[in-house]
Chain A
Amino acid sequence: MTCSEFLKELTDYLDDSLDERTRVELEDHLAWCHDCFVVCDTTKKTIEIYRDSQLYELPDDLRTRLRTAIVEKCHAKKAGPQKA
């Protein structure tokens, strides 16, 4: 497996959706290719850091305000003139 072939398979590898044979080939490549090992490792970290970052969490007070507004408007729609 070449480095560019490795990169092509990386998405499926991270998804754990590769067939057994390709996964073994890829892990064999990772065992000796330091650059691809680093790319794979730092890519996993990139994903984990974003996933765990709580970036753009919805604050509780805003959450309540938005939900109240949505529910009020849903009730208003329900009470409004019905389409035939």
Chain B
Amino acid sequence: MNTIQTKVGEPVSDELALVQAAKNGDVSAFEELVRRYDRNVFRIAQHITQNREDAEDVVQDAFLKAYGNLGQFQGQSKFYTWLVRIAVNEALMRLRRRRPERMVSLDEDVKTEEDSMPREVADWSPNPEQQYSQAELRDILGKTIQGLPPSFRTVFVLRYVEGVYTEETAEALGLSIPAVKSRLLRARLQLRERLNRYFKKRQAGDGQP
């Protein structure tokens, strides 16, 4: 079977050299780290905040915070994992500011039987995404993931969109591995069920969604 590929695959030794140079005051070395990870941080931030301006602010603030605290990076984890942790915290902080009425926490993991078992088992067309234009598809995917609790969409984007390994996702979010897996299960089930209405095979006589 195909395994989940990672989008972040730079050599770690090379990266540690860049981090060391940046610690010694080489801003161009830090700029290289920004080039490597700015797209990832932006995607993560926008998935969590669901707000473009907030995502832009998160990119700036996360990198500046990382730069200001490079001395505390000990190299026990990958630089990217450390950076993701900073970025997720910045993103959640902004989400809380925009939605003070709602509790926003990574600890959010409301367990019910309904959301850990599929409710509707519907087969999809072979290439369901091809039924829609790129713009329509992005709109569908954006709306769908927006409906998930922040903790679910955070683990989903880290693990499956950014390709961060489960152990590193747990480390970056300060969660246990079982907690990450539990959120991944629910996130996947919820997304899949919400996408059913767009992607499921049409029976004769079905209307459009």
Contacts and interface: CB of A to CB of B under 8 A. Distances in A.
Contacts, number: 131
B184 interface: yes
Given A39-B192, A67-B34, A77 B128 contact: no
Contact of A63 (B31, B38, B129, B195): B38
Interface residues of A, number: 41
Given A56-B46, A70-B60, A45 B124 contact: yes
Interface in B183-202: 184-185, 188-189, 191-192, 195-196, 199
A48 to B, nearest CB: 9
Chain B interface, DSSP helix/strand/loop, else mixed: helix
A1 interface: no
Given A55-B161, A71-B31, A74-B27, 19 more contacts: A7-B118, A11-B166, A12-B181, A15-B166, A41-B124, A42-B123, A47-B160, A49-B128, A49-B141, A50-B145, A53-B138, A55-B138, A55-B145, A56-B47, A58-B39, A66-B60, A70-B59, A70-B63, A70-B64
A70 B39 contact: no
B34 A7 contact: no
A39 B121 contact: yes
B160 A69 contact: no
B64 A74 contact: yes
A16 B192 contact: no
